[in-house]
Amino acid sequence: MVSQELLEILRCPACVREVDHPLEYYRESWLICPDCGRKYPIKEDIPIMLIDEGDKWVNTPKEQLPVPPPTD
């Protein structure tokens, strides 16, 4: 589980210069940007905040995101 303090400071690396919105914490497995729709997986309690990783899931509806995220 990701700590609340970390969730409060994390921002989408693709959008952070344009907007300052918190990410949606979804099913303890994903962080979702409300602006661009990128979805960042959380693997072993570590958010993978790489733009390329968020791009992989941008077109996947959050209800269809795999829980837990694939480990590649």
Burial class (CB in 10 A: 0-12, 13-18, 19+), 30: buried
The per-residue pLDDT for 1 is: 84
The DSSP code for 31 is E
The per-residue pLDDT for 60 is: 97
The per-residue pLDDT for 56 is: 96
CA-to-CA distance for 30 and 61, rounded, in angstroms? 12
Domains and CATH numbers, the chain: 4-64 (2.20.25)
The per-residue pLDDT for 18 is: 81
Burial class (CB in 10 A: 0-12, 13-18, 19+), 5: exposed
The DSSP code for 24 is E
